[in-house]
Structure 1
Amino acid sequence: MSSPLLSLDHASLSLRSNAGRVDILHGITLDVHEGETVGLTGPSGSGKSSLLMLMGGLERATGGTVRALGHDLGKMNEDALAKLRRDNVGVVFQSFHLIPTLTALENVATPLELAGHDDAFDRAADELRAVGVGHRADHYPFQLSGGEQQRVALARAAAPRPRMVLADEPTGNLDGPTGEVIVDLLFGLRERYGSTLVLVTHDTELAARCDRVIRLIDGRLDVDPTG
């Protein structure tokens, strides 16, 4: 098997609080391979979102190592991490995180412009059409429904044609039918761009669509990570 796209070796995460140190993740060791879809499940507070943040370099491991796309994330400065995410990683959150003063088209195109893509607006328009909101390109977030905003957020994540997509409860703020559409679009990124998908979800049926399901309990893996 090829080298993993993402590899964690005894990765831990502890944060400081007013009450002292809080240990969130404990010695996580797992590999994720190119083109794989992985579901992260577990009770609330088990560390799923924190693990996703480690994978994307949005949080730094306080123990062990995290390697993504051939890079040791712990040895990279913030600028290098931001560039790695910008060019290779799409992130979709439960909250849409759209810039309210930009149109849907501008929300998708702006990161591409910052990355130096001459075709930023053409590519953004293509991605909005691909997720079914091309006709809403000139609308601002407050003019869009929750489902439409999440489609725009997904278009923004997909526009760099990422090697890896990290999704944290992407259907959490949506009704059932709308959520199913968003999930289908997420899984479709593997067919379109070969993207690897890591998906945090409480939905066991959704997790079952993934190639592999990893369950966390109290910040520790509850299954064989090579399963």
Structure 2
Amino acid sequence: MSDSVLALKDVTLRLMGNAGPVEILHGITMDVRRGETLGLVGPSGSGKSSLLMIMGGLERATGGTVHALGQDLTAMDEDGLARFRRDHMGVVFQSFHLIPTMTALENVATPLELAGDPDAFDKARAELETMGLGERLDHYPSQMSGGEQQRVALARAAAPRPEILLADEPTGNLDGQTGQAIVDLLFGLRDRHGATLVLVTHAPALAERCDRVLRLRDGRAETGNLRAAE
């Protein structure tokens, strides 16, 4: 489709385990449209996070093709994938992945600096202030709550204004009220910047806010599961 931002065709993933090869994903074919919010749901071990990592070029598919913004991720080397993520994607993990020896401001500014942005620290400061962290700019991750750390991670992902935002259980380590605040910020990023959002979640309330939901089971997309959220 012409407005497709992510296009997967017959994607498979096979990893080696102690007892031999393990089939993680089986022939996933799907498209994600520009500006859309897609929720990936399913039981633990169904392949949700693996599929998200393949979309972000963080895991290589064993078979099939993955296109993002018209570029073939399966044909890129590791350097090419890293540059593509830097220029076009933001990724948010459940466990935050902040650099512990850097302040909130430095954590958010770093990817902008790596991209050669001369206004890296000004943009990082503005994004953190948008996240309600204007008083925490000089604090280290160990000095912040889980919710504050996740907001720093969101600011880091959003500051470069990526076309694609990927989130893996962004509320998984947070209490209900804090998690809801993170959800509101995620969808606010989509609304403000027009990013295409793909997220993995176990939370029904979060899945219901998505435009569409893809349910996985045993590494397969369930029949008829790509639907409008009700």
Normalised by the size of structure 1, how large is the TM-score? 0.98
Q: Name 2:129's counterpart in structure 1.
A: 129
In the alignment, what sits opposite 1:115? 115
Cα 1:27–1:6 change in 2 (3 A) is same
Q: Which residue of 2 aligns with 1:65?
A: 65
Runs of 4+ in 1 over 6 A off after TM superposition: none
Alignment of 1:127-206 (within 5 A): 127-206=127-206
User: Which residue of structure 2 aligns with residue 208 of structure 1?
Assistant: 208
Q: Give the letter aligned to residue 131 of structure 1.
A: M
Q: Is the 8 A contact 1:40 1:198 kept in 2?
A: yes
How far the C-alpha of 1:205 sits from its partner, in A, is 1.4
**Paired residue total:** 227
Q: Structure 1 CA distance, aligned partners of 2:16 and 2:66? A: 20
Q: Structure 1: where are the runs of 5+ without partners?
A: none
Which AA in structure 1 matches 2:155? Answer: A
Compute the TM-score of the two structures, normalised by the length of structure 2: 0.96
What SS is found at the alignment partner of 1:113?
A: helix
| Alignment partners' CA distance in 1, 2:157 and 2:132 | 15
Following the alignment from structure 1 to structure 2, what is the Cα–Cα distance between the partners of residues 169 and 226? 19
Question: How far apart in 2 are the matches of 1:3 and 1:112?
Answer: 27
Q: Which amino acid aligns with 2:28?
A: I
Contact 1:31 1:225 in 2 (8 A): no
Paired residue secondary structure (1:15): strand
Where structure 2 has 5 or more consecutive residues not aligned to the other structure, the ranges are none
C-alpha deviation, 1:224, in angstroms: 3.3
Deviation of the 1:48 alpha carbon: 0.3
SS class of match (1:49): helix
1:91 corresponds in structure 2 to: 91
Structure 2 contact 9–66 (Cα < 8 Å) conserved: yes
Matched, 1:4 2:10: no
Contact 2:215 2:226 in 1 (8 A): no
- Name the CA distance, whole Å, in 2 between partners of 1:151 and 1:202: 20
Instruction: Say if 1:66 and 1:225 are closer, same or farther in 2 by CA, change over 3 A.
Output: farther
What CA distance in whole angstroms lies between the structure 2 residues aligned with 1:3 and 1:205? 27
State how far apart, in whole Å, the 2-side matches of 1:8 and 1:215 are: 15
Distance 2:114 2:133 in 1: 23
| Cα distance between partner residues in 2 of 1:193 and 1:87 | 15
Q: Does 1:217 align with 2:200?
A: no
| Distance of 1:186 and 1:226 partners within structure 2 | 21
Q: Displacement of 1:225 after TM fit? A: 6.2
Q: How much identity, in percent, do the aligned residues show?
A: 71
> Alpha-carbon deviation of 1:2?
2.7
RMSD between superposed Cα atoms in Å: 1.0
Q: What is residue 102 of structure 1 aligned with on the other side?
A: 102
